[in-house]
Structure 1
Amino acid sequence: MQTNAANRLDRLPISRFHKVTLVAVAFAYFFEFADINSFATTAPRLVSLWGVTIDQVAYVTSLSFFGMFVGSIIAGWLADRVGRRRALIGTTVYFSIFSMASAFTWDIVSLGVCRVLTSAGLSAMTVVAVIYVSEIFPAAVRGRYQAYAIVIGICGTPVTNLIASAVVPLTDWSWRLVFVWGALGIAFLFFARGLVESPRWYEGRGEPERAETALRAIEQRVEAEHGSLPEPVPPAPGTGVTVSRAPLSALLQRRYLMPTLVLTVLWVTQTIGFFGYSSWAPTLLANEGFSVENSIFYIALTTIGAPLGSLLAAVVTDRFERKWLLVIFGLVIAACGLLYGLTFNPILIVVFGFLVNLVERGYTALAYAYSPELFDIRGRSLGTGVAYGIGRLSNAAGPLVIAALYNGSGYQSVFLFIAGVWAVGAVVLALFGPRTRPRRSAATSPASAGT
């Protein structure tokens, strides 16, 4: 039995089913983005309450990224083993539980442990969500809807920062409310009933009957809204057969090695470049003489640009080659981040910080769409998870480098380093990044077969 899942899903018009899926994924993204910078927004307060040092902030941040690495690797395995839908639900519940636990910590060690466990869940959820969107939405518009999900989700960052700027200064315990807020991601369970397991995952496991059931459930919901559906493109020869999960050693094969290496550089530079900025800016501003309240407030204003950046990505992602969009966005981030670090004027800090957030969130939306497209169904979870995980692991060293630069050479050296990291990523993508646009337009091409 051949279900032809890829072509049947790709010929569907966008319907209420897709929009419900979009809202569900966006909700998970919202609380991922809400939670991911919660330690950065509370750290300035903990410096005064618990006597936390810059080096301790660096160690907690570094260990959190080790947790992200572990979570990403587990996510690829989990999504292949139990399915995209169940993995998405499980990872979202997991990070919500440990975010709540963070609110009840009593010192920097207990908080650090909870942040590592939370970060593992955040990263795992992201990997699974990226794969799920890539497999559910039609190929011609999946980049746009990936970006739309992030447009909604990224609002979690400025909302959380504004909440933190209001509640953290109130009392000696009110910083805990920031982590309680992040734990509300558990409400994702209310959306779970509307999600359908990926038919492509069933097909790849050699379960055509279950793939057919999932496909018919989706098609019936779309038909009820749009009427009769067009006939799908016939499957390419050799597709529709059982695809085993790729072992880790498969990434050394020629067809997986170069995409994995390029994506690893992409996520390493994105992680160090973005989190080096977002995780440290509040603390560094406070250390440079700005009040805790003002430093958090300035950063909150800059993150308002984040949803607009994702919206920009939604406009351009399916119109132009994603590789070159990523190169352009990376270079612009490097320039704006450098200018941010060269000024101490509050207005210019907000302006350049706003631009960094705008373009970087557009970059991330593009990267989320670009990453799974470089692999077939067999290697998608593993390749995406490993590249994303190594990227997150790289920032275990990033905060230590930034702390050393700050202590040794001062505030501006940090932003020179961050700008250089973004520039390296752009150059590597320009030279070695695979193009994906021709593949998306050719339903029967080898790269898209079985996707």
Structure 2
Amino acid sequence: MQSVHHSNAANRLDRLPVSRFHQLTLVAVSFAYFFEFADINSFATTAPRLITLWGVTVSQIAYVTSLSFVGMFLGSVAAGGVADRWGRKKALTWTTLSFGVFSFASVFSWDLVSLGVFRVLTSAGLSAMTVVAVIYVSELFPAAVRGKYQAYAIVIGICGTPVTNLIASAVVPLSDWTWRLVYLWGSLGILFVLFARHLQESPRWYESRGRYAEADAVLGHIEARIIAEKGPLPEPAPPVEPSPPAEAPLRLLLQKKYLLPTALLTVLWVTQTIGFFGYSSWAPTLLAKEGFGVEQSIFYVALTTLGAPLGSYLASLVTDRFERKWCLVAFGTVIALCGLFYGLSFNPVLIVVFGFLVNLFERGYTALGYAYSPELFDTRGRSLGTGVSYGLGRLSNAAGPLIIAGLYNSTGYQSVFFFIAGTWILGAVVLAVLGPRTKRVAAPARGGEVDPVKTA
């Protein structure tokens, strides 16, 4: 047993072989992701119906979408604090339950205002859950396969998007009330409670709070399960003395070691958010406004999202093999090009083909970003830095829908897609110039500090 003054959590976790413990954790996180992705585009898939049913305008859709991203920002920032204060496991459970409950409330909305309020609250839970899940996987899986399993969780979870879009394309046109079933479907994330009791708290979190005995107990339990399944384990590397446990106030991010990665990741998530949701949130509505039927527009978008799971799987193949920074740059550039062709095509086959490619590479980009983001911080700054940068990205899209609606109303459909492609190119250029490499960095960072990728 390790000393009560140090549990050596990072090295003990990193030398574990992938086992049933990791697989169960993956399934649980993937389930949460599935219903997060199932629910995140619910408003987009029902908005074309509400245009005819409630007389909703494109500008009103923009305002609801914008406010949803304010909710995402608040959820992301709150998630970092909750995960730091109460633990990764509890935070993951609470945030997943929160978006499920508010999605269920959306079933009973009576006008656009009530639906908008419920969507803002749902969005806060969705974004908070994502931040916590990224941190949880990053801290429990061995460093050598961490990126791969972040991507695997997205591969499974992202299936929620095409499944939901196909369900929406089938049920929304049936009658004046069946659009509500889309929100009922999204609320099934509540069933995450069935997984929660089988999960373990992050030993790295316990260690960061100075609760070394509890960290050691959890590690011992995990190791005993893996020894029974896989046989004896190798000795872990010697521990590095931990920093004294301390709170992580918001001003911590003003320190140079946290400010630079937070700023970089903010650019990454701002461009990803505006770029991705520009496509996914607006495609059904804009296609419908350009003369395609509501059923056609929802169905076309549903077909394009079938590329999403393949994109996450592609990320799982490259994330631990190549430098993540350059994978992100390459994926972002391809998304910009395919998105332009998607927006400039009015042939249904080309819309589906290029939309499929946009979804494929965008979901791969997101999976890579989820693996890359927490690696830029040590344990103390990980929740806060990841949550704030991700939250600022989501907050940026409070303006994104208004910009898109303004472009559409003033200069037309095609200008929207030039704007979206430009955001992807900007993100790729900033990452190429400023993004640090994280693939298996072993040397000490400048100033004698040990690189967080290997030690946090």
* Structure 1 gap ranges (5+): none
Q: Work out whether residues 440 and 453 of structure 2, in 8 Å CA contact, stay in contact via their aligned partners in 1.
A: no
Q: Work out whether residues 139 and 440 of structure 1, in 8 Å CA contact, stay in contact via their aligned partners in 2.
A: no
| CA positional deviation for 1:218 | 0.8
Distance 1:113 1:431 in 2: 40
Distance 1:221 1:281 in 2: 47
Partner residue of 2:97?
93
Partner residue of 2:36?
32
Distance 2:150 2:442 in 1: 15
| CA positional deviation for 1:429 | 0.3
Aligned residue among 10, 18, 21 for 1:17: 21
| CA positional deviation for 1:246 | 1.8
Deviations 1:367-426 (A, max 9, x none): 000000000001000000000000000000000000000000110000000000000000
Deviations 1:294-329 (A, max 9, x none): 000000000000000000000000001100000000
User: Structure 2 length normalisation: TM-score?
Assistant: 0.97
Partner residue of 1:226?
230
1:106 aligns with 2:110: yes
Q: Work out whether residues 443 and 451 of structure 2, in 8 Å CA contact, stay in contact via their aligned partners in 1.
A: no
Q: Work out whether residues 442 and 451 of structure 2, in 8 Å CA contact, stay in contact via their aligned partners in 1.
A: no
Question: Are residues 218 and 24 of structure 1, via their aligned partners in 2, closer, same or farther at CA, if it must alter by over 3 Å?
Answer: same
User: What SS does structure 1 have at the residue aligned with 2:373?
Assistant: helix
Partner residue of 2:340?
338
Q: Work out whether residues 70 and 398 of structure 2, in 8 Å CA contact, stay in contact via their aligned partners in 1.
A: yes
| CA positional deviation for 1:439 | 2.3
Aligned residue among 109, 121, 125 for 2:125: 121
Question: Are residues 440 and 139 of structure 1, via their aligned partners in 2, closer, same or farther at CA, if it must alter by over 3 Å?
Answer: farther
Aligned residue among 25, 32, 53 for 2:57: 53
Question: Are residues 74 and 392 of structure 1, via their aligned partners in 2, closer, same or farther at CA, if it must alter by over 3 Å?
Answer: same
Distance 2:244 2:8 in 1: 12
Seq. identity, %: 73
For 2:377, the aligned partner's letter is F
Q: Work out whether residues 93 and 196 of structure 2, in 8 Å CA contact, stay in contact via their aligned partners in 1.
A: yes
1:378 aligns with 2:383: no
Partner residue of 2:354?
352
User: Structure 1 length normalisation: TM-score?
Assistant: 0.98
Distance 2:121 2:212 in 1: 36
Partner residue of 1:447?
452
Q: Work out whether residues 245 and 379 of structure 1, in 8 Å CA contact, stay in contact via their aligned partners in 2.
A: no
| CA positional deviation for 1:121 | 0.2
Distance 1:72 1:447 in 2: 22
Aligned residue among 160, 163, 171 for 1:159: 163
Equivalent residue runs for 1:287-298 within 5 Å: 287-298=289-300
Please, what is the CA RMSD of the aligned residues?
1.2
Aligned residue among 255, 271, 274 for 1:272: 274
| CA positional deviation for 1:449 | 5.9
Moved over 6 A (4+): 440-444
User: What SS does structure 2 have at the residue aligned with 1:434?
Assistant: coil
User: What SS does structure 1 have at the residue aligned with 2:346?
Assistant: coil
* Structure 2 gap ranges (5+): none
Partner residue of 1:261?
263
Most deviating of 244-253 and 378-387:
244-253
1:197 aligns with 2:201: yes
For 1:191, the aligned partner's letter is F
Distance 1:127 1:446 in 2: 22
Distance 1:288 1:398 in 2: 20
Q: Work out whether residues 154 and 309 of structure 2, in 8 Å CA contact, stay in contact via their aligned partners in 1.
A: yes
